[in-house]
Amino acid sequence: MGTQKVMVLHAFVLSVLLFRGCGCAIQDGMLYPRDTETRETKDLSGVWNFRADKSRNRNAGFEEQWFKQSLFRSGGVIDMPVPSSYNDITQDKSLRDFVGWVWYDREFYPPYSWQNLKQRVVLRFQSAHYYTIVWLNGEEIMEHDGGHLPFEIEVTDNLVYGQSNRITAAVNNTLTPHTLPPGTIEYKTNTDKYPAGYFVQDLQMDFFNYAGIHRAVKLYTTPRVYIDDITVISDISASTGLVNYNIKVGGDVDGNDVICQVDLLDKDGKTVSSKKGLQDQLSVSKAHFWWPYTMSNDSAYLYTLKVSISSGGSSDLYRLPVGIRTVKTTNTQILINDKPFYCHGVAKHEDSDFRGKGVDLPLIAKDFNLLKWLGANCFRTSHYPYADEIMDMADRHGIVVIDECPGVGITHLENFSNKSLTHHLEVMEELVRRDKNRPSVIMWSVANEPASEFPQARHYFKSVISHTKQLDPTRPVTFVFNGGMDIERIFDEATEFCDVICLNSYYGWYSDTGHTEVIQLQLEYNLRQWFKKRNKPIIQTEYGAGSIAGIHLNPDMAFSEDYQVEVLQEHFKIFDKLRKEFLVGEMVWNFADFMTAQGTNRVVGNRKGVFTRQRQPKMAAYILREHYLSIINSTSQHSRQ
């Protein structure tokens, strides 16, 4: 018997997808938890107890009901920081590569001052990868299918005041044909070569499958009648800024009985426009518009939308940062505030040493300083939604974002099934709900390098893109296409539904390796043919070459820093030429080196970064900075009010 790839899932994988009769995460509005006069937050991040279920079927935790008591009573536990990826925290190779259920718990005291107040208490996980089930004091309260996005549930009646409460979370990182990203479990059935029951997780994406509770866990309060959701759409009329708002109220209330006051505050806290009602338009004369970053415009202008409601003796208040700007496309341009915008930026990964995808505030601040040092004005959240803290920084600093869902690796026929499509639509709903009000987000990307040549891709991506446009008609929608090296041999069923064509190609790296002299010819031909094919603006969303920091060769060769520089410089010549026509962006792959699964084509991860994983510059970073500064200097600066 040899190896066998099966789509029938092992018991521990099946258990991921079974509903266990618990409450599912709230699916209405999920405003980011903020302290206000009527709301309070308690951060439960810190060191939690942790245990991986290394039983053969990965199901011992459920069979033995580890959630019924403190986790340490089930067996040995270790300290695990939350947020973090558990993979790189210890020296245990088996935990680094673990696939299946891992368990967390921690005890906490809810603030005693919350007990007698007429309010709701909500438990929120900012992100856990991939499938999560949560218990509070041994009672199952919610589950969530998917990583990278928040989920929450009201726990007002579950908390016990005056004594310790316990949160338990079971998280499973198994990727199946219907997750995003998808994957398969491969069973090694030859017992002469592998132990009985041996399996591996096959990945369909080229980055490490970091797992765990990646972002903060919080408790927060709201009044019983509360602001459930806010939707803001801005517009511009000459020098006047328009802010259209729609407020959704939650709780046991008749909407007609709600009194709503909405004020728009400038940076100094001064009210510049006010209205009453749950839905209306605010108008600001001589408005400060939100503009993308330039070297002379170090931070973007954000107003604050102050929303106050009251009903039946209950009141709530929430403050939402708001940027006034518009986004439009023509067949050759992206327009921000009716001015042409050219994206000179990077593709990134939310990846750091030791914490994996765990939120790391010093690293986030460092990355934005490096972006501005480069002269970059945009990035793509390749290939999954990034943390709220990263998006907040983009809003504040004027860094434009192409917001991408985890739809990477959709390359097998089963990934286009109705089951996969249903999940994909749900993920886009969660992403749009979270980021719809962010001025930095100018475009949604629904996938990266899917197999859009399959006939099934036409219905699939038409459905996903149409659904996303229904959720948010104000932004263009795209997916990132594997641009190929020979357009005559490309079969594509889906890019016609995109508003902007985003292309990945690696001339001089994956084709004609070592031959930088052919890059200009091949790149220009490919881009021109794509514009002829779709007559839409194009962004080169990936290009580049790998390099090992410190390796220098003259003449240059692949994997030397010198070769990476030459590959980039050959691309720059065509980008500069086509920027005057239909090219609206260039994004080097990658901002920094990042971890991947082990393989002979990767040297301790992907080395295409212009910075190392420790954020030290390679030669390519200096060349890229010089190129981006030349773009800034040659582009007439937009007037800002």
Task: Tell me the catalytic residues.
Answer: 449
Task: State the CB neighbour count (10 A cutoff) for residue 252.
Answer: 9
Question: Who's near 196: CB < 8 A, 6+ residues apart?
Answer: none
In terms of DSSP H, where are the helices of 48-178? Answer: 60-63, 93-96
In the numeric block, which tokens belong to residue 124? 């929120």
Judge contact between 173 and 46, C-beta under 8 A: no
Q: How far apart are CA 100 and CA 78, in angstroms?
A: 17
Residue in 131, 3, 124 with CA at minimum distance from that of residue 58: 131
Q: DSSP state, 593? A: -
Q: Which helix (H) or strand (E) holds 620?
A: helix 619-634
In the numeric block, which tokens belong to residue 247? 């407020």
Task: State the CB neighbour count (10 A cutoff) for residue 490.
Answer: 18
Q: At what angle do helices 361-374 and 388-397 cross, to 10 degrees?
A: 30
Side chain identity at 337, as an amino acid letter? Answer: N
Q: At what angle do helices 519-534 and 561-578 cross, to 10 degrees?
A: 40
Q: Is the peptide bond before 321 cis (omega within 30 degrees of 0)?
A: no
Indicate the burial class of 82 (C-beta count within 10 angstroms; 0-12, 13-18, 19 or more).
Answer: buried
Side chain identity at 353, as an amino acid letter? Answer: D
Indicate the burial class of 217 (C-beta count within 10 angstroms; 0-12, 13-18, 19 or more).
Answer: buried
In the numeric block, which tokens belong to residue 210? 């970091």
In total, the chain counts a number of residues equal to 641
482, 485, 519, 559 from 514: Cα distances, Å: 21, 15, 10, 10
CA dihedral 23, 24, 28, 31 (to 10 degrees): 100
In 483-582, the DSSP E strands lie at 501-504, 538-542
Q: Which helix (H) or strand (E) holds 347?
A: strand 343-347
According to DSSP, the residues that pair with 167 across neighbouring strands are 106, 136
Residue in 318, 299, 300 with CA at minimum distance from that of residue 309: 318
Indicate the burial class of 124 (C-beta count within 10 angstroms; 0-12, 13-18, 19 or more).
Answer: buried
Judge contact between 71 and 201, C-beta under 8 A: no
Residue in 497, 385, 464 with CA at minimum distance from that of residue 149: 385
Judge contact between 321 and 304, C-beta under 8 A: yes
**DSSP assignments along 105-132, one per residue:** EEEE---GGGTTSSEEEEEEES-EESEE
Determine phi and psi for 326, rounding to 5 degrees: -125, 155
Question: Who's near 576: CB < 8 A, 6+ residues apart?
Answer: none
**The pairing of beta strand 378-380 with beta strand 400-404:** parallel
